[in-house]
Structure 1
């Protein structure tokens, strides 16, 4: 990556590190969380305070709610989204007695890479290692995981490589573990078209374009990925603030270039990537989910069902639900987390 990666620094608003309870979080959207409705798209629920903790190579920003002694649920967002994808899921789970942790992934929000010398790496293994490091820092031995997009891939990886840390899992769009070798195979033209942004990011023009236009670029992705979700401007702006992270562009670009084999990852993760390239099965209890109006690239459930060798169920969520399923159908997602914990 170029030296530009290390010089693009923008200051964000500071976040409090004070201890927060469910009430202090100000999660006012509990009563408004809907199962399958996307009509309002409003920013009712909010995380008013965030915590920070040093974990591995990161200083991680995260929201927390629910009782400290409750079973832990860790919820992971994707690109181009952030922790607010779970703003309405979180109070539902907290009210059910779960301790809910919702971290910003590397390159988002208040999460920071601690050293200027650390590569701004977005390969799949490193994001999973980040989460394991966060669990260690928080002294969490085992958790239930839920995620979509990058977050779904990450929970898949944790369940496959560290099953002792994963009690159960909810994964939107199923099994998303990949490899550079598998990504060399061309797709049918229609499928290639849906990955247009990955090819754009492969160019220096795409790097510069995303850096200059990330706000409008990501809003376009939201609309394409969830064509029936009528989110309002306030909802988008709340999440768009997280894209001002000084490492956001570098990490996003590296992620998509790494997938195509155009850049290397860090050598210390090579062994993990070799294991992931074999497409390991997942034995922990799992519920996979898919919205009926997902406009983003995603596999058909029938193609990945056999990857889950433990107790398994798939749920199709109707009502015009797109790619950002936890935010568009928060009750359906929260119900899946509660149900999979009982498998």
Structure 2
């Protein structure tokens, strides 16, 4: 078993856990996991980047692994603005003025938001599945039946039954999502047990449920973050150099033939569709993810 030393730093809302690799003086790269994943998604990316002299930070998002809230009174929010604020707070706490960001799913959302609203803090961006900002004011509109079917778990989490199901069966349910979202990934059953312990966090269920309710306007957000949600409702463009990685076999959000996110990127931008890859992009395709980062960092 590989040892992954964890550091913890205090931010305004969290004791935020992260793994760090490479020299402290290196150019910073922050790698952000999604739901239901963990820092293990970047095992084959973090060390190669560190070997090239980069300072690599791999945080555990709120509700995952050793990350904990500072106060029992803090709303266990999973809204997109909270994820972005956590990323900014981490950068501030570590005295990182500007970093390369890589993320997918929840982590991709945090990275895209910071790139859109604070471009001066972002050197470049590798995003899983393109423009990851939620368009919450239009979230209640029905989508095509196939898309609605793939989002069954989100609707499940809107119900008391879903809360109880996630609480009682979190590992089995998350493992099912891994299978459904990465249907052609043969290593999934072998890799899942490495990430599953991160879901035992005492705030995991509450954060997850809030995330999937807030995005459909079924739960209020943190009042302190309402200003950011209002800014995100305008769907601001992303101007930093960006590569979007999309899994051709993604079981929750398959890549469309035409890139409908193109209009949201105003700087250097490229989409790469990865054959044989599902939703867990960095863990399924570490080579392609590493190449995308280095293509931007060394440009």
Structure showing greater radius of gyration is: 1
CA deviation vs aligned residue, 1:93-150 (integer Å, no higher than 9, x gap): 1112211000000000000001000011111001100010011111111000000111
Does the alignment pair 1:326 with 2:274? no
Structure 1 counterpart SS, 2:29? strand
CA deviation vs aligned residue, 1:138-166 (integer Å, no higher than 9, x gap): 11110000001111111110000111111
Q: Name the residue aligned to 1:263.
A: 219
1:203 shift after superposition: 0.3
Structure 2 counterpart SS, 1:339? helix
Distance 2:224 2:7 in 1: 29
2:202 aligns with one of 227, 237, 246: 246
Q: How many residues are treated as equivalent by the alignment?
A: 298
1:342 shift after superposition: 3.2
Q: Name the residue aligned to 2:166.
A: 210
1:158 aligns with one of 90, 101, 114: 114
Q: Name the residue aligned to 2:138.
A: 182
Does the alignment pair 1:306 with 2:263? yes
CA deviation vs aligned residue, 1:195-252 (integer Å, no higher than 9, x gap): 0001000000000011000000000000000001112645211100000000000000
Unaligned runs of 5+ in 1: 1-43
CA 1:280–1:298 in structure 2 vs 1: closer, same or farther (change >3 Å)? farther
CA 1:325–1:211 in structure 2 vs 1: closer, same or farther (change >3 Å)? same
CA deviation vs aligned residue, 1:18-63 (integer Å, no higher than 9, x gap): xxxxxxxxxxxxxxxxxxxxxxxxxx8x452111111121001110
Structure 1 counterpart SS, 2:261? helix
Q: Is the 8 A contact 1:47 1:63 kept in 2?
A: no
Structure 1 counterpart SS, 2:17? strand
CA deviation vs aligned residue, 1:262-297 (integer Å, no higher than 9, x gap): 110011111111110111000000000112211112
CA 1:70–1:225 in structure 2 vs 1: closer, same or farther (change >3 Å)? same
Write out aligned runs for 1:133-172 (5 A): 133-172=89-128
**TM-score between the two structures when normalised by the length of structure 1:** 0.85
Write out aligned runs for 1:216-227 (5 A): 216-227=172-183
Q: Is the 8 A contact 1:195 1:297 kept in 2?
A: no
Unaligned runs of 5+ in 2: none
